[in-house]
Amino acid sequence: MSFVVVFNLVLTILTAITGLVWLLDKFWLAGRRGAGPTADKPAPPPGAIVDFCVSLFPVIFAVFVLRSFVVEPFRIPSGSMIPTLYPGDFILVNKFGYGLRCPVGSCKLVDIGEPKRGDVVVFRYPARSEADPNFGNDFIKRVIGVPGDHLQYIDKVLTVNGQKVEVQPAGVFPEDSISQRFMEDLNGVRHNILENPGQPSPNVDLIVPAGRYFMMGDNRDGSNDSRYWGFVPEQNLKGRAILIWMSWDGGPALSRFGRLIR
C-alpha cells in the first residue's frame, strides 16, 4: 500500500473520529456539563481527549475536504513529462474536474466531466498484481486517446482517428544536446514534446475501449506509459494537473513557480 493511500485512509479515519466526538460534545456532552453547575459552581471543562478532538476537527475537516474534493498536491518524481514538467516540480491537481470520488477507494460520488485529449492527468498505475513494482503508485501523463479513438503511433508519428497530429520543430533540447524538441498540437492543446532520434519506440495501432484512456509522456522516448503497459481505467483517474506552485530539485527554480500546466 502506497504512502498516499495510507495517508488518505488515516486522514479519513481521523476526520470521522474527531467529527463524531465534536458532534457528541455539541449535542450531548456540553448539555450534560451545563445541567449541573450553579452560579457558585461553574461547568467543568471537557476532558483532554474531547477538548483535543473538538479543537482539531475544524482544521482536519478543512484539510480533508480540500484534499479529497478540491485540490491535491503532487510532486513530479521523474523526467517522463519533460519539457512540460520536471523532477522536483510540485503541482496542484484538480480533484473535481472528472467527478467527485470517494476519499478512499475508486468509487465515484458525482459525475461531472471527462478527460479530453491533451489533458495532463494524475492517475493510479493500472497494476494487474501486487507483484508489479509500480503497484499503488501515482503516475502523471498526457491523455492521447479517449474512448473510441483509433490511435496509431508509427515511427514516432502520431495519428488520431485518421488525422496526423501536427508537430513543428522547436530546436535541440539544450539540456542534453541530443533530444529534438517539437511543438505538438493535440486537440487544440499546444505543448512541447521531446524525441530522441537514436532511440527506438514501440509502434501502436489500436482502438481505445470504453471506460479506458491511452496515456503518453511528453518525453516520448523517456516515458513508461500506455505504449508499454496498456490503458488506464476511468476509475484510476485522480485529477487534472493545473498548476506548478513550487519547483525544487537541489534548489529553487523560481522561473517555474506559478506556471499553469498545458
List pLDDT tens digits, range 98-141. Answer: 988 888 777 888 888 999 999 999 999 998 778 888 888 899 99
Catalytic residue among 95, 141, 156, 238: 141
**Residue 255 appears among annotated catalytic residues:** no
For 258: left if phi > 0, alpha if psi spans -120 to 50, otherwise beta; the answer is left
Task: Report pLDDT for 39.
Answer: 46
Query: In terms of domains, do 169 and 40 share one?
Result: no
pLDDT band for position 45 (cuts 50, 70, 90) = low
Catalytic residue among 26, 41, 68, 80: 80
Query: In terms of domains, do 85 and 46 share one?
Result: no
Q: Give the amino acid at 98.
A: Y
Query: In terms of domains, do 116 and 66 share one?
Result: no
Assess contact for 207 and 199: CB atoms under 8 A: no
pLDDT at 36 over 60: no
Total domain count, the chain: 2
Query: In terms of domains, do 161 and 87 share one?
Result: yes
Query: In terms of domains, do 66 and 83 share one?
Result: no
pLDDT at 172 over 90: no
**Residue 141 appears among annotated catalytic residues:** yes
CA distance 140 to 225: 9
For residue 185, give its domain range: 76-260
CA distance 45 to 90: 43
Mean pLDDT value across the chain: 89
Chosen domain end from 41, 70, 99:
70
Query: In terms of domains, do 162 and 101 share one?
Result: yes
Task: Report pLDDT for 148.
Answer: 98
Assess contact for 259 and 243: CB atoms under 8 A: yes
Q: Is 187 helix (H, G, I), strand (E, B) or coil?
A: coil
CA distance 235 to 108: 8
pLDDT at 2 over 90: no
Query: In terms of domains, do 102 and 208 share one?
Result: yes
Q: Which of 38-52, 55-69, 79-93, 216-230 has the lowest mean pLDDT?
A: 38-52
Query: In terms of domains, do 187 and 115 share one?
Result: yes
Query: In terms of domains, do 158 and 66 share one?
Result: no
Looking up cell 481505445, which residue turns up?
Answer: 208
**pTM of the model as a whole:** 0.85
Chosen domain end from 70, 100, 121:
70
Query: In terms of domains, do 56 and 136 share one?
Result: no
